[in-house]
Amino acid sequence: MARKSGVVVGLVVAVCVAVVASLAYGAVSIPFGQVIDALTGASEVSESTSKIVLDLRLPRSCEAIVVGAALGVAGALLQGALNNPLASPDIVGVTGGAGFGAVLILILFPAQVALLPVGALFFGLLAAGLVFAVAWSGANRGSVSKLILAGIAIGAMFGAGTTAILTAYPDRVPSVLFFIAGSLTSDGWGDLKAVWPYFAIGFVLAIGLMRPLDRLSLGDEVAASLGTKPRLIRLIAGVAAALLAASAASLAGLLAFLGLVVPHFVRMAAGTSSHTYVVPVSALAGATLLLAGDTLARVVAAPIELPVGPFMVLIGVPMFLYLLRRAG
């Protein structure tokens, strides 16, 4: 119990520190007092400082928290629902679909770039829909292995489409590099406003799924004897994970690593696999990791911005490997 509480307290402290760092540091050096003044609306703050803090850093920090939490939760839901430690948003085709949607907009319809989040979200959900349609049809419908195989096939299909577009327009490839490598942007609140309902539905579904997933972890037969419908739970968990992962991809590009690693990190650190613990704490851990990675990506080579994906890996992997070694 103390170990679990310790992990929660540690993550709460870490996320607070990450939020402060994200607001305080950037390409432009702003004294922390002025950051506070800008946040509280003090009149003596310059227009540019106010703009940087309120319109760039604050929405970006919020995006990092929401996206990190969504990916952590999506990974926890899928790993629980499929009873597979390698499950991540990739597995339901979301990453491949969202990547295809983004590349389609950025390369073929650059004038419609404002539709990028919507395009990534649409194709992410479309890919997941196809995976579920295949997995829940024909013989052995709703089985874990069928869902995983369908996910791999549909993901490969969208991946091939992405590669085809990139190959056809090699001169335009730089436009999509940051999306593919994973990167938050400073586009203000607009993108978050466009996709927040999908996040909200995903998080609400995740909250409702925590206890059924615990029952599902006892095995399908035991879960059924306790009144849980395993296939239905699996489907709802898949839909929730798809909503969260597609929304996350629409804002921050392809960061599937986070969805894979964060739930394992939480389980190993706290020593429990209970979904009532792992799902919310994965949200906290995902938010912390992405926020810290994004701050590093913004300041390491400032004013040049780097993609967040590699930095997240840089922070997350050593901690993950340490815990993996300890867990034996």
| Site residues for another protein per CB under 8 A | 26-28, 47-48, 51-52, 55-57, 106-107, 110-114, 116, 167, 169-179, 183, 185-188, 190, 298, 302-306
Closer of 45 and 239 to another protein (Cβ): 45
Query: What is the spatial distance between Cα 143 and Cα 276, in angstroms, rounded to a whole number?
Result: 24
Q: Which residue has the tokens 């997350």?
A: 316
Cα end-to-end span (Å), the chain: 21
Provide, rounded to whole angstroms, the least separation between the CB of residue 311 and another protein: 14
Closer of 179 and 311 to another protein (Cβ): 179
Query: What is the spatial distance between Cα 287 and Cα 276, in angstroms, rounded to a whole number?
Result: 18
Provide, rounded to whole angstroms, the least separation between the CB of residue 24 and another protein: 12
Closer of 135 and 184 to another protein (Cβ): 184
Closer of 180 and 315 to another protein (Cβ): 180
Closer of 233 and 249 to another protein (Cβ): 249
217 C-beta neighbours (distance < 10 Å), count: 16
Provide, rounded to whole angstroms, the least separation between the CB of residue 30 and another protein: 9
What is the signed CA dihedral for 278, 280, 282, 286, rounded to 10 degrees? 180
Closer of 84 and 186 to another protein (Cβ): 186
Provide, rounded to whole angstroms, the least separation between the CB of residue 190 and another protein: 7
Provide, rounded to whole angstroms, the least separation between the CB of residue 124 and another protein: 16
- Tokens of residue 308, six digits: 């967040």
Provide, rounded to whole angstroms, the least separation between the CB of residue 309 and another protein: 13
Q: Which amino acid is at 257?
A: F
Angle between helix 144-168 and helix 230-252 axes, rounded to 10 deg? 20
Q: Residue 263 contacts by C-beta under 8 Å, 6 or more apart in sequence?
A: 72, 75, 76, 79, 278, 282
Closer of 17 and 177 to another protein (Cβ): 177
Provide, rounded to whole angstroms, the least separation between the CB of residue 287 and another protein: 21
- Tokens of residue 127, six digits: 């890919």
Q: Which long-range contacts (CB under 8 A, 24 or more apart) does 271-274 make?
A: 271/3, 271/4, 272/4, 273/217, 274/214
CB 96 within 8 A of CB 159: yes
- Tokens of residue 281, six digits: 């704490």
- Tokens of residue 44, six digits: 């003596």
